[in-house]
């Protein structure tokens, strides 16, 4: 499940797209809200959340089977 970007909190800095090792945000432009282009490639590694300077701008939806491993 892909990351969810809250447009109210997003500062459009593009750091999440730069840090994503799987290019989930491929093709996103700087100074615009990143677009999740390849949602199936998300590994739920939290690198986009850690890179984001605004708390609450990005949220991950962890699939139910992964919840046991995630906790």
Residue 10 sits in a domain whose CATH number is 3.30.70.20
Q: Which domain holds residue 55?
A: 3-70
DSSP-assigned beta bridge partners for residue 5: 58
pTM: 0.76
Structural domains of the chain, count: 1
Per-residue CA distances from 21 to 8, 29, 64, 65, 69 (Å): 25, 17, 23, 22, 21
Which parts of the chain sit beneath pLDDT 70? 64-67, 69-71
Task: Give pLDDT tens digits for 46-58.
Answer: 899 999 999 889 9
Q: What pLDDT is attached to residue 67?
A: 66
């Amino acid at each position: 499940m892909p990351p969810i970007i809250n447009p109210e909190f997003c500062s459009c800095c593009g750091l999440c797209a730069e840090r994503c090792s799987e290019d989930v945000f491929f093709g996103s432009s700087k100074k615009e809200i990143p677009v999740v282009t390849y949602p199936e490639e998300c590994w739920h590694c939290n690198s986009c959340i850690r890179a984001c300077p605004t708390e609450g701008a990005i949220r991950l939806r962890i699939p139910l089977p992964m919840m046991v491993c995630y906790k």
